[in-house]
Chain A
Amino acid sequence: MKKVILVADDSPTIRKFVSISLKVKGFEIIQASDGMEALEVLPSGQIDLVITDLNMPNIDGFELIKTIRSNEDYRELPIIILSSLSGNAEIEKGIQYGANAYLLKPFDSKRVLYEVSKFLN
C-alpha cells in the first residue's frame, strides 16, 4: 500500500517540486495550500507523514505542528519542516513544537527522499 504524504505550502511550485521528488519512489502526495487546509485533510486518517512550510497564510507551519501534536492520535506522525527561514530561533522552535526534521529551501530532492524514507521505511 502506498504511503501518503501531506505537503503544506502556499507556493504551488514548491508543492510540485516535492511531489516530483517523492512520487518517483512511489509515495502518494496530498497537497494543501496552508495550515488550515492541511488540518482539514488530516482527519481522513490516511496521512503517514507531513511536510510543511512555516510562512503560510491563515494557519502557519508552527501553528499547524502545534495543533497536530496536541492531538493524541498524531503524536507519532512524522513532521518535516521545509522552509527558507534559517534562523536559530525558528529551528529551535521547530524542535520544541515537535518537528522531526528541518530542511532549508532551496532543497535537494535526494535529501527530502532520505528524510521521508527514514520515517516511512
Chain B
Amino acid sequence: MMSSDNISQLFSKLNDLKKVFSYGEKLIPILNSLGEFMKDTVPLLENINKSIAESTSKIPKATNQIQSVTSATEMATTEILDLVDSLNADLSDIEKTMLDVLNKEVDKKEFLLNLIPMLNVKNAETFIKDFLIKNSSSERLGELLLQIGKMKTDSNSITISLQVQDITAQQLATVNHLIESVQERLSSLIADLDNNPIPEEHDTKVNLPAGASFDPNARYSRSEVPQQEVDSIFNKEMQTASQDEIDKLFN
C-alpha cells in the first residue's frame, strides 16, 4: 500500500514532468527553426568551402602568369638594352669621326692662314679669310657634337629608366611570395573543414623560381637623395665624390 506521503511525492514529480513537457512544447518550434536554419546554412558553408578550394586551385596559375610577365619584361628589356648599346657604339663612332673632321678643319684653316705671307698676291689675305668664313664647317660640327653629347645623355637616361624592370621583377616576386602564403593558409583551412579536397587536376604547388631572392621593399626612384644618404654613411669611413665631380669626369 502506498502511503499518502508517497502519493503526494508522485504528484509532485508528475507536476515537474508536466513542466518539462510544457517547456519542451515551447522549445520545439525553436529547435525546428534551428533545424531549418542548419538545413539552409550547411549547403551555403559547403559552397564557401568549394569556392575556397576552387580559388586555391587557381593560385598556381596566377603565380605562373606573374612569373611569365617577369620573364617577358626581362626579355624585352634585354632587347632594348642591346639596341641602346648598339646605338651608343654608333654614336661613339660618329663622334670620333666628327672630331677627326673638326681637327682637319682646324688644320686646314691654320694651313691657309700660314699661306697668306707666302703668297705675293694682292688681296690674298682678304680672299683667304673671306673663303674661310664662308666655307668653315667648324661651327656646325661643334653644334653636331653637342647634339651627339645630348643623345648620349638621353641614352644613359633610357638605361636608368629601364632599370624599372628589375625593381618591378622584385615587386612581382614579393606578390608571388604573398600569394604563396595565402595559398598555404587556405589549403590548411580546407584541410580542417575538409569534405572538399582541392581538385586534383590542378597543380597546387606554387612555382616560385628556385631560391627566389628579392627585396620586398624595392622601389623605383630617380631621386638622388637615397644615394646621398648612403654616401653620407659611407663618407664616415671613406672618401666619396660629389655628383658634380662625377659629372665633370665623365661628361
Contacts and interface: CB of A to CB of B under 8 A. Distances in A.
Interface size class of A (residues with CB under 8 A): 35 or more
B119 interface: no
A14 B162 CA distance: 9
A23 to B, nearest CB: 8
B170 interface: yes
A75 interface: no
B233 interface: yes
Contact of B92 (A24, A54, A86): A24
Contact of B78 (A13, A34, A54): A13
Contacts, number: 116
Interface in A2-58: 10-14, 16-17, 20-21, 24, 34, 54-58
Given A17-B81, A24-B88, A55 B214 contact: yes
A104 B215 CA distance: 12
A66 interface: no
Interface in B96-155: none
A110 B213 contact: no
A91 interface: yes
Given A17-B81, A20-B81, A91-B233, A109 B159 contact: yes
B227 A111 contact: yes
A84 interface: yes
A82 B166 CA distance: 12
Contacts of A56: 213
Given A60-B213, A101-B234, A14 B226 contact: no
B196 interface: no
B28 interface: no
Interface of B: 74, 77-78, 81-82, 84-85, 88, 92, 156, 159-167, 169-170, 209-215, 217-222, 226-227, 229-230, 233-234, 237-238, 240-241, 243, 245-247, 249-251
16 contacts: A10-B213, A17-B163, A20-B85, A57-B212, A57-B213, A60-B213, A84-B167, A88-B233, A101-B238, A104-B230, A106-B220, A108-B156, A110-B250, A114-B245, A114-B246, A114-B250
